[in-house]
Every structure is written in structure tokens, then in C-alpha cells.
Structure 1
């Protein structure tokens, strides 16, 4: 009998649990620190990028993904995603996901840096919620043991192998294999499109256990979050439908930044907005969707429409104030193409993982597809019993730098930590700011995990130190990592970074 423990309830974790359920000799437990609905997947608006039409090809999807990745994407990981994507999406449909249709066919939209209209949506701009709801309904009818509102604080490691997790109350939950699907770490920053649960838990647990992480310097900042409390995401699909970015004088400025203007890669648009905001003394820029009309906006983007109107904006009549916000972690626990980490018994899928797929900048709407594709592959890996840890040994994966985790001084408040990361490791970085941040982090202790909130704060503190160290080590600008003191990309081929945490003396 094999016991599989899945930690996380987004598309990757739900897919893994459902795919393993019912396999001969397998029992599955899915653990989540909040409710099943509390995940980045639930809040995802943009859609799923996948080839579903005869005028599009897997090769073109691969090319678009590689181009967005700014020379750092792993070719094989991209091939797996794009080639296995159509089948993975069909599995979502078979499990009850109702994607939008037009004239009896799947409706397809366009988003930035895509060469074709290949983005599938559900409920207009509620794609993630539709996917999560369908999979959760299936989960409720499965034999998977579900434990909600249960916080895991550390991995159990015996003889160099991960054998389960330790819960906040001290309980040991043992398993033959642990799959981390805990999502990203948007709460590292004060401005983020992520929900409150995105506190880097799985990554921090893996780092504390000695796992290798990769590409932690690459954080994607979504260009257009509503400049209002909560930073509600205004999907890239709005710009795909024709909305434009204007300065305070009503002038389109992205045409001066990139040939693709508002549909340039996300890192380009986000920095373009930040630069324009600086010229305006910090005043947000505006997203002008008025030409699309109030009726179309309400029909095509019902979730966004309700959110902006609830905050007092009429975007069918007036442009919306928008600002960049932390959105997606390209880095994560280093894995191979089968979700194996550097620790036997530990696997990782979705945003918490890094197999090189997204490179330095994720292509829009590839994240939900990643969870669906690799959430299936990890089950085959676990049940096939492939021996040995999953490591990248080729020249494109650097030996990890060692970061000493100290426990000196007092623990920071979450607000202090978030502001430090925003200032030093936000859209623009330099050696001076990163060095000062590293020194400050070394003065701050890791909070003691006495309750769920302090456990999250401890995880953010660990991840913050690894992010800053990684950003300081990469002396170039590439994708989501921009160094004002090294504004050009380094030599080609680019090398994936690595980091491992070691305990202080």
C-alpha cells in the first residue's frame, strides 16, 4: 500500500490527488491550511493557454513560451507542457470544467506575447474558480482523505528521505511520498494579486529540509492591478481585447517602450508602467477600456466588472487607475521533468516548483496549464517508483549557492518584511539595495511558529532571504529580474540559479 500526501488545493494539487485516487494499492490524503477554495487557482482570471485549433500548433506555443522566458526556459519542460496540454485540458473537461464556447466550439482569446488566439476561459474571467470548483466537486466524491484548515510546518526527513510532514499541533503525518503543491509567495510584497494564503509555505519547508531551490530571483509583477485596496487583478485579457494604457494626460505611452505596446511581455509592460508612474510622481497610470463599452465589459469580464464597480469605478466610462503588483513566482523548488526534487520522497508541482519551464518570465496563461500537466505527471512518477532524486546535472543548472539561515535579533513584522522586499527586490534591483536587504534580514530572526499566522511569517522570512541572495548573485537583467546596475542580459546560454539554506552556527 502506497500513501501519497498532497499538500495544496490548487489545480496542481487537486489534479494529482484525483489522478492517484482509485489506483490499485494507493491511498491519498490532501492537506490544505485553509479551505479547499483558498488557492491562487481560485483567483486566476486569464485562462488556460493551449492549442485547440487547426490554425495553431504546439511548435508555435513552444516558440511563444521560449520567447517570453527570455533565454532561460528549459526546452524539454516547455515541450512537455505544450505537447501534453491538449490532453490535460480534455481531462479537465471530463472532470466537469465548463470552458466558454462560441458557435459550438471552444472560445479562444488572445493575450500578450501569444501568436494565436489560444486562451480558453470559463465564466468569462473566472477560469480559475471554474476549474477549482469542478475539481473540488470531484474530490468530494472521491476516496481521498481531505484535511482542511490544517497547517503543515515542516517536512519529516529520516535517513535523507522525506517521510511526511509535521503539523502545527505537533502531529506527525507520515507518507510514502509527499507532493508539495502549495503555490507561490505573493505575500512577500505589500502589493500583490495573490490571496492571503500565498506565503511560500512549501518552498520554505523544502528549503529548511535541505532541498535545492532554483531561479528565486525571478518574480513576475503583473502590470495591471487596480490601484485600490486589495490590488484586484485586472486581467491581461482586457488588454488582449483592446484596452490601452495611458498616462495622466491621456497619452498612450507603451508604444514608446516596445513594438507590441500593451501586449509586450509582462515584465516589459510592468517596468514601463513603473517608469511612467515615476515620471508622474508615483501617480498610477490608467487602463482605458472605455472603447469596449460597458455592456461588453460586463459580459466578457463579469468578475472584474463587479470588483471595480464595488470599489466605485465605472470602467465603461472612465479609465481605471492601475499599478504593477507581485503576481507569479517563476522560481521554486528545483525539480526535474517528472516533479522529483533533490530530496528522495519529495515531489513538487505547480507554482511552488521550478523545472525551468517559465524561464525568466512566464508566458500569460501557462500557469493553470502547468498545474494540469505536471499534476498528472507526478502521479506517474510516484507510482512508477523511479529510483533516486531528481537533479539537473547539465551545465545550464548552476551549483546552488549556500545561504546561512541565522536566528539573531528580533523577528520582523510582516509589513516590515514586505516593504523591504518591495524596495530592494521589486521591479528594479541593484547591489546597494540588495546588500542592505541581506544585512537587514540577517539581523532579523525567524519568527517562532506558534500559530498559523506566525508559521506563515516564518516561511516568508526564510523565502525572503533566499530571494534576496539569489537576486544579488545574478549580475545581469533578464525577464522578471532587472538590475539597474547591470541593465543588460549576460552571456548566452543563460544559466539557472540555485540556492540551498544551511543553518547558522
Structure 2
């Protein structure tokens, strides 16, 4: 359930209501805030804006049909093909049609996309794209460069107030309306209420619910759980994308070996030096991510291991062309110029989330959602490479336009400087730390690249047991988000896109549709699963 605004009335006495509160300081949140200017906006971020955002870690780039040889229709068709039959076709058409305009917006904010000597955008190709259409920055630094430019723009925009180090815990509601956000200072105990005329959920994904992930620790499903607890409809939660080539060097989060390496000719081999993808798919290393991830998973679990061989395709130019990956390899004592890079699949992106329409509206009045926390229908069962940053900016812009159209033109707002008070010393509970470890291990083991009914029921039972050890709302939100994913995966008795059931390995035409659920249904499924595991 949401939290009533009346519960926090004393704390709000004499305070103005913000026009818009945005929960999340990643690409979707900051882009939306900039598009809303000069409307008063408060951005609430778990970490320093940009630093805890998955957007800043994106290496490949942003997909857009901006060359003379490409069309948005071709981009649309590639996206629909990757989505394995359950994309919302009109949403995909809208997103790909608007891609060029959003890239131009980013150029206007100062993003230094790679260009050739004639000033044209340099474009690369990634898996399942039919054309070179990925706009990059220095090979593998697009996410960081985009975020750096947007952060600078936000800092210079007086109508945007940024509050860093606040963890969103609950949505405040009045009847069927979302009226604000309840947040807690990170490392402290005090809660603060942020009332709003509109709330935009841009809190990111669920990667840190898994023990092996490419995502930062802030990607822990809080926003998904907050919306679910307030009664929002959720969609496609079972579809989780695992990036095939995370560096298998024991780091958490796992560094990413961008798909652009394979786009530039790197191959996948096992410990015997055999190139195994040629036997799996006609596109070999450039097959859809779910197929490549499963092939690597099987090589790793069989004991043969999996390695990304860049020696011939990239060679001595590796450090200049892919500095981020090169630095991660060097830190692990690997020289990718002369040595194959050990890789394994890692949780990378969540196609599911809070159900939204074409303007980012959720099923709850007053609540919009954008970025990875949202399920727009653009990705279907399997996201096409480099469509995530595109989806974030397209729908952030649409949300801003929708909100502007619904509300009277505001007064200009110039927020006073906000000094973040140092947080209280962390008072983490040992049992809760153990519960988080238990949660992440069961998600990677039982809700990972390959799933089956027994494993999913075990995961739900394990999460129920871990949840009983927790008291902090922020950690309970992680448990709720994990249950949503596992329960949705148990419901879909087929394999499609990023969701692979070893007990139902075929795609079932009768299930070629999106899935929808609510927290009440998830709880029923979880209880039944726990009873089955315990033999009750």
C-alpha cells in the first residue's frame, strides 16, 4: 500500500508543494527534469546524480536511424524481431521515429558523440541490428559522456532542485492519487515527505537483486516495489536480460565487455580455443543476447569456460578504441591484446516493470514512469542492443510534454542552495545483510539465465524466508521486487526472449502476449510456492 499524506502532515506544515518530484538521478530522470524547465522540479537521487545510475555505465551507445542508409522503419523492424513477438508495435514505431530528435537534443546538451572528419556522426553496429546505427562516444564511453553533459546542464538550471543521498521508500497516496514520495536519508533514520502535483518514477532497474550483475548497487528494484505496494499494475516482469559478456573475474558488480567488441569482430571461444557460437546460430557472435548468453552459460557450467578473443579483430588498438574495458582487464591482470578475456553472463537489463502507456502514465493517477523501472512494451521479451538509452530519453521527453499539457504554466522557480546534512552512521542489521546475500544468490541460481518450476518455487520460498529477517523498508522493497520477477517467471510456462524455462524450452504461440500482474497476485503465488517447497 501507499502511505497517506496525512501521516506526515506535521512535517509538511508551511511547505510548498513541488510541481513535480522525480525519483531517480539517471538518464531518464535528468532528461525529464531538463525538458520540464522552467517548471519547478525536485530530483531525488539515491547517490550523487549520475554516479549510482546504470545509464552512466552504458558502454555501447544509443540506437537511432540517423544515417542516409538507414530508416526508422528498419530500426522498428529490428526491435520487433528482437522482442520475440510481444512488443507493442505502436510504441516501437513511436520510439524509433523520435530517435533522431532525441539524439539532436543530446547534442544540444553538449554530448560529444563520435564524428568523422566531415562532421557526421560515426555509427557502429551491434547484435541483431540490420544497419550501423549505434551512436557512440570514444568507443565504449557513451553512458558516462551523456550523463556528464546532462549533469552539467541540470546543475545550471535554476528550476531544478537536486537532493542527493535520499532513498525512496514509499509513494504517498490519497485515494487513487499519488501525491508524493516518502524518502529516507541514506545512512540515517529520519524520513522526509516530498509532496508533489506529479511524481515521475525513474529509479532504474533490478540488477543488484542478482549476485552476478553489471549494474551498480543502487539498481535494487526499489521503484518497482514502491509502485507495486501502491497498487500499480506491473508488466512483463519475468523478462530479464543477461548480458553475455561480463568479465568473469570475481568483481561485484561485474565489469562489462561491451557488445561493440563483437560488433567489431571479436569472437567467442572456449578453453580449447574452439569458436562455439558458429554451431549455435547463423549470426554467430552477433546473435540475439539471450541466445549468446545461454551458449556462454553452458560453456561455463560444463567446465570448458568461455572467453572473448579480441586479439585479431581489435589487437593493439584496444586501449584507444575501448578504454573502459581495457582498464577493467588491466586491473584484473589481463592483457586483451595478447590474451582472451574470460566472460560469463550477468544480469544486465529488466524489460519488465511498471506498466505505462505511450505518454509514460502508469495505472495510478499522478504517477508516471520512465527508464528501466517502466514497462512501455518497447522491448518485448528481449531488448535490442542500445535501445535502453533511447527508450529513456524518448519517454522522459513524452512525460515532460504530458505533464506540461496537464498543468497550468507554473511560476519560475529558483531553489535555494540545499546543503545535504551528513548521514547518521550506518546501523545495518547483520540479519538483513545475510538476507540480501541469500536473496541475490537465489536469484542468480534459480531465476537466472535458465529457469525451471522447481528452482523458481525454491527462489520464492527462499525470498519469503529472507524477508522474515528484514525490517527496513528499503530492504523489504528489494524482497518485493525479487518476488515479482520470480512469480512472473513461474507463471509463464514457455521460453521466449530473455525468459528461458528448461522445463518448457519451446516458445508457445498461445502465450505470445504481454503479462500483467499486481502485488496481491504475486503474494498468492509466493505463498503457494513456499507451501509446495515445505510440503505443507
| TM superposition score normalised by structure 1 | 0.91
- 1:474: which partner in 2? 492
1:166 corresponds to 2:182 = yes
Q: Select the residue among 36, 41, 59 that pairs with 1:28.
A: 41
The counterpart of 1:18, out of the listed 34, 39, 64, is: 34
SS at match of 1:292: coil
1:206 maps to which residue?
A: 227
Q: Which has the higher mean CA deviation after the structures are superposed, 475-484 or 117-126? A: 117-126
1:76 aligns to 2:97 (yes or no): no
Question: How far, CA to CA, are the matches of 1:473 and 1:499 in structure 2?
Answer: 10
Q: CA deviation at 1:123?
A: 2.5
Q: Give the deviation of 1:171 after TM superposition.
A: 1.7
Q: Report the CA distance between 1:32 and its aligned residue.
A: 0.2
Partners of 2:435 and 2:469 within 8 A in 1: no
Q: 1:459 aligns with which of 442, 467, 477?
A: 477
Q: Distance in 2 between matches of 1:467 and 1:254?
A: 29
User: Aligned to 2:467, what secondary structure does the other structure show?
Assistant: coil
Partner of 1:252: 275
Q: Decide whether the 8 Å contact of 2:439 with 2:466 is kept in 1.
A: no
Are 1:157 and 2:173 an aligned pair? Answer: yes
For 1:134, the equivalent position in structure 2 comes to 149
| Helix, strand or coil at the partner of 1:63 | helix
* Corresponding residue SS for 1:132: helix
Aligned residue runs from structure 1 range 402-413, under 5 A? 413=435
Inter-partner Cα distance in structure 1 for 2:168 and 2:79: 34
- Deviation at residue 448 of structure 1 after TM alignment: 4.7
Partner in structure 2 of residue 86 of structure 1:
100
In 1, distance between residues paired with 2:60 and 2:457? 36
Counterpart for residue 399 of structure 1: none
CA distance in 2, matches of 1:438, 1:31: 31
Note if contact 2:202-2:369 (Cα within 8 Å) is conserved in structure 1. yes
Residues 435, 466 of structure 2: 8 Å contact kept: no
Whole-angstrom CA distance in 2 between matches of 1:138 and 1:15: 10
Give the Cα–Cα distance (whole angstroms) in 2 for the partners of residues 241 and 498 of structure 1: 38
- C-alpha displacement at 1:229, in angstroms? 2.7
CA contact (8 A) 1:271 1:427 kept: yes
Change (3 A) 1:84 1:493: farther
For the aligned residue pairs, the C-alpha RMSD in angstroms reads 1.7
Shift of 1:449: 5.4
Rounded Cα–Cα distance in structure 1 between residues aligned with 2:504 and 2:511: 17
Q: Tell me the SS of whatever aligns to 1:443.
A: helix
- How far apart are residue 437 of structure 1 and its match? 2.0
1:72-127 Cα shifts (integer Å, max 9, x gaps): 11101101110000001100000111101112211100111000011110132110
**Cα distance change of structure 1 residues 132 and 194 upon mapping to structure 2, 3 Å threshold:** same
CA shift, 1:435, in A, is: 1.7
How many Å apart are 1:292 and its aligned residue? 2.8
C-alpha displacement of 1:474: 0.2
How far residue 380 of structure 1 moved from its aligned partner, in angstroms, is 1.2
Q: Within 5 Å, which residues of 2 pair with 1:299-448?
A: 299-385=320-406, 413-445=435-467, 448=470
Distance 2:492 2:363 in 1: 22
- SS at 2:394 equivalent: helix
Partner of 1:390: none
Number of residue-to-residue matches in the alignment: 473
Cα distance, 1:279 vs structure 2:
2.4
CA contact (8 A) 1:15 1:372 kept: yes
1:189-204 map, 5 Å: 189-204=210-225
Secondary structure of the corresponding residue to residue 139 of structure 1: helix
Per the alignment, residue 531 of structure 2 pairs with: none
Structure 2, unmatched stretches of 5+, are: 1-16, 185-189, 408-430, 528-536
Q: Supply the distance in 2 between the matched residues of 1:194 and 1:444 (Cα, whole angstroms).
A: 22
In 1, distance between residues paired with 2:172 and 2:114? 43
The structure-2 alpha-carbon separation of the partners of 1:432 and 1:279, relative to structure 1 and needing over 3 Å to count, comes to same
**How far has the Cα of 1:441 moved from its partner?**
2.7
**Please, which of 124, 128, 135 is the counterpart of residue 120 of structure 1?**
135
SS of the equivalent of 2:232 reads coil
CA deviations on 1:295-324 (whole Å, 9 max, x unpaired) are 321111011111211211000001000000
2:197 maps to which of 162, 176, 179: 176
Correspondence for 1:8: 24
In 2, the alpha carbon distance for the partners of 1:440 and 1:59 equals: 45
Distance 1:494 1:293 in 2: 40
**C-alpha deviations, 1:128-147, integer Å up to 9, x for none?**
00000000000000020110
Please tell me whether the aligned partners of residues 220 and 328 of structure 1 are also in contact (alpha carbons under 8 angstroms). Answer: yes
Which deviations, in whole Å up to 9, do the C-alpha atoms of 1:35-93 show, x marking residues without a partner? 00220011110111101111111110001001110111110110111000000110000
SS in 2 for 1:15: helix
Specify whether residues 291 and 364 from structure 1 end up closer, same or farther in structure 2 by C-alpha distance, changes over 3 A only: same
CA positional deviation for 1:415: 1.1
Partner of 1:56: 70
C-alpha distance in structure 1 between counterparts of 2:133 and 2:474, whole Å? 37
- Give the match for residue 237 of structure 1: 260
Maintained 8 Å contact 1:446/1:458: no
TM-score (norm 2): 0.86
Q: Work out whether residues 235 and 375 of structure 2, in 8 Å CA contact, stay in contact via their aligned partners in 1.
A: yes
Note the alpha carbon deviations across 1:152-193, whole angstroms, 9 max, x for none. 210001121100011222221100000011110101111000
Instruction: Report the counterpart of residue 288 of structure 1 in structure 2.
Output: 309
- 1:265 counterpart (265, 288, 304): 288
